[in-house]
Amino acid sequence: MLSNPDLLTANDTAGELPASYYAATAIRKTDYPALQGDLTCDVCVVGGGYTGLSTALHLGQRGYRVALLEAHKVGWGASGRNGGQVGPGQRVDQEVLESRHGIAHAKALWDLSLQSMDLLHALIRDHGIDCEFRPGLVEAVHRKDWLEETRDYVEHLRQVYAYDRIDYLDGDAIREWVASPAYFGGAYNRGAGHLHPLNFALGLATACETAGVDIFENSKVLRYRQGQTITVETEMGTVKARYLVLGCNGYLGRLDGQTAAHVMPINNFIIATEPFSPDEAAALIKDRAAVADTKFVINYFRLSSDNRLLFGGGETYSYTFPKDIKSFVRRPMLEIFPQLKDARIDYGWGGTLAITPKRMPYFARIAPNVLSASGYSGHGVAMATLAGQICAEAIDGIAGRFDLFERINVPAFPGGARFRYPLLVLAMTWFAMRDRLGI
C-alpha cells in the first residue's frame, strides 16, 4: 500500500480527465494554457474545482485581477467526479452541531447551508449552466432501530429550523421510492437534488472567463512563499500576488502543512450502468430522486438523464484505486439492487475527496493574506461553491461568514499529516465492520 502518494499522479493520467460517464457527457472540453513565465496579479487561486472556480469568479466580478492555477484540467478532481448530490445542511446533523457549538451557531451554519443552495441555483440560472439539476433526495435508513431517530430528526428540522421541505418515510413509503429490500424507512428532501457535477464546474469556468479570470491548466503548484507579496511557483512559471487562496481539498499534497494536518484525503468510486428504458429506470427510483443511505461507508445513487444508474459505494484502505473499479462497486450495487445482476456496467471511475475529524469544512487563515478552504467530507457540491464566495468576501474585507466557519475550530488529526493514513485504515476498517454487522 502506498501511504504517502502524490494523489495528483498516483491514479490518473496527467492532464486528462478520468474516463468517467461525466467526462463522456461533458458540455465542452477545456484547453486553457499552462502558466509560462512570470505573472503578477491581485489574487492567485490554486485549484480548479468548485472552491477555486467560485473564489475566482466572485473576485473577478468584484474587479480583482485573478490567476487560477490547476494542476491538470478544470474539474479534474472531486468536483468533476462526485455523485452529484446536493442539499441543505452540513455533513453532520444539526443536533450534533447544537451540542458542539450551541443553538445560535448551529442555526447560523444551517442558514449558510441554505445560502449555499441559493447560490448554486443562482449561478446555474445567471450563467446558463447546463448541468441537469433535478430536485429531490431520499435518505434511506438501513437499520430498523434508527427509524424513530430519523422521524424525530425530520420533526426537529421542521420545528426548530422551520424547514418544511422534508418528509419522513415509513417502510411502505421507502419501498415506493427505492426498489430495494435493503431499507426500512427514511426521509424525502424536496429542497435537495442532484446535477451533473463536471458540467457545473465547466459552467463555472466559462463564467470565470467572462469575469476576466486568467485560468491556467497543467500548472501544478510546487510551492509558495509567504510575505506581503506571495510568490507561487509552478514548473514553468511564477505568480506574484497580494493574496493566495488554496482550494485543493483532497489533492493538496504537501503544499501546505497546516491544512494537511486538518484534512485527510480518501478515495471513493462510482459506476454507471448501461442505459435502461424509461419504464425500467422509473421502477428503480421514483421521480428520478437521488438516494443516499445511512451506512458509514455510504451508498449513494441516482439516475442520469439518459436513464443509467450512477452508483457510488465501496471502501478501500489504500490511496491507490482498485484494478477493476467496475467489479469493485458492482458488489455493493447488487446488495441494494439484486435485480440488476445482468445489467452491463459501462463506466467505472474513482476520485479523491477530503474529510476532517469533525466532518465539517476546514476554513483557515494560514497567514493574513493566505486563505484555505477544504475538507467538505462528501458534502461539497454546494458548500465548496459557497466557500469560494466566502473566501472572495474575506479578501474584499467582509469576513463575517468566513469567521463563522473558522470558529468551528476543526481539530488536527492526532499526529498531524504524518499519521493520517494509519488512522484512515483503522477507522475505515472499524466502521465498515459495523456496517456489515449492523451494530
Has residue 372 been placed in a domain? yes
Has residue 274 been placed in a domain? no
Residues 174-188, buried b or exposed e (16+ Cβ, 10 A)?
bbebbebebbbbbbb
d(CA 257, CA 120): 31
Has residue 318 been placed in a domain? no
Query: Domain range spanning residue 213?
Result: 21-81+198-265+357-419
Has residue 413 been placed in a domain? yes
Has residue 104 been placed in a domain? no
Has residue 316 been placed in a domain? no
Please give the model's pTM, rounded to 2 decimal places: 0.95
Has residue 310 been placed in a domain? no
386 residue type, one letter:
L
Instruction: Output the tens digit of pLDDT for each of the chain's 439 residues.
Output: 445 678 898 899 989 999 999 999 999 999 999 999 999 999 999 999 999 999 999 999 999 999 999 999 999 999 999 999 999 999 999 999 999 999 999 999 999 999 999 999 999 999 999 999 999 999 999 999 999 999 999 999 999 999 999 999 999 999 999 999 999 999 999 999 999 999 999 999 999 999 999 999 999 999 999 999 999 999 999 999 999 999 999 999 889 999 999 998 989 999 999 999 999 999 999 999 999 999 978 999 999 999 999 999 987 767 889 999 999 999 999 999 999 999 999 999 999 999 898 999 999 999 999 999 999 999 999 999 999 999 999 999 999 999 999 999 899 988 666 655 666 666 556 555 555 555 5
Residues 212-242, buried b or exposed e (16+ Cβ, 10 A)?
ebbbbbbbbbeebeeeeebbbebeebebbbb
Helix (H) or strand (E) holding 312: strand 309-312
d(CA 47, CA 204): 13
288 residue type, one letter:
R
CATH at residue 51 = 3.50.50.60
Has residue 225 been placed in a domain? yes
Into how many domains does the chain fold?
1
420 residue type, one letter:
R
